[in-house]
């Protein structure tokens, strides 16, 4: 399976934008890029996913590099509630998706008031 690389931790200030990077240099042409986050003592929460084009939803935006070797999750205006571990995950289509999500260690996002 293609792997992802994320910084261990990042710090940002409340009400400012946050850019969370993810490198996936061995991504295959049919891998989707998924982002999840896990708030303290909770289960993971789906954030967003994309294939080639940039994506927006009510929670965040996903910017995908033209060569797809990297992506950036953008939180437009961070709040204290956004403090969580953020996981960048590639979905391997060759397994039909039934092999689930492969979680790495993610990025621990700290939001300062």
Partner 1 sequence: NAGVTQTPKFQVLKTGQSMTLQCAQDMNHEYMSWYRQDPGMGLRLIHYSVGAGITDQGEVPNGYNVSRSTTEDFPLRLLSAAPSQTSVYFCASSYSSADNYGYTFGSGTRLTVV
Residues that bind partner 1 (CB under 8 A): 31-32, 34, 36, 41-46, 49, 51, 87, 91-93, 96-106
**Shortest reach from residue 47's CB to partner 1, in Å:** 8
Token look-up 């260690």 returns 105
**Shortest reach from residue 2's CB to partner 1, in Å:** 12
Q: Which is nearer to partner 1, 41 or 66 (CB)?
A: 41
The DSSP letter of residue 94 is G
Look at residues 68, 74, 36, 70 and name the one whose alpha carbon lies nearest to residue 55. Answer: 74
The DSSP letter of residue 76 is S
Q: Which is nearer to partner 1, 17 or 95 (CB)?
A: 95
Please, which residues bridge with residue 34 across strands? 49, 89
């Amino acid at each position: 399976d293609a792997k992802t690389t994320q910084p261990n931790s990042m710090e940002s200030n409340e009400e400012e934008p946050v850019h969370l990077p993810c490198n996936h240099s061995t991504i295959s042409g049919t891998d989707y890029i998924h982002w999840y986050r896990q708030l303290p003592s909770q289960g993971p929460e789906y954030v967003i996913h994309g294939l080639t084009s940039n994506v927006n939803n009510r929670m965040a935006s996903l910017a995908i590099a033209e060569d797809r070797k990297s992506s950036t999750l953008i939180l437009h205006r961070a709040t204290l509630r956004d403090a969580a571990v953020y996981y960048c995950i590639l979905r391997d289509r060759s397994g039909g998706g039934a092999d689930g999500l492969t979680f790495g260690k993610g990025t621990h996002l700290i939001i300062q008031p």
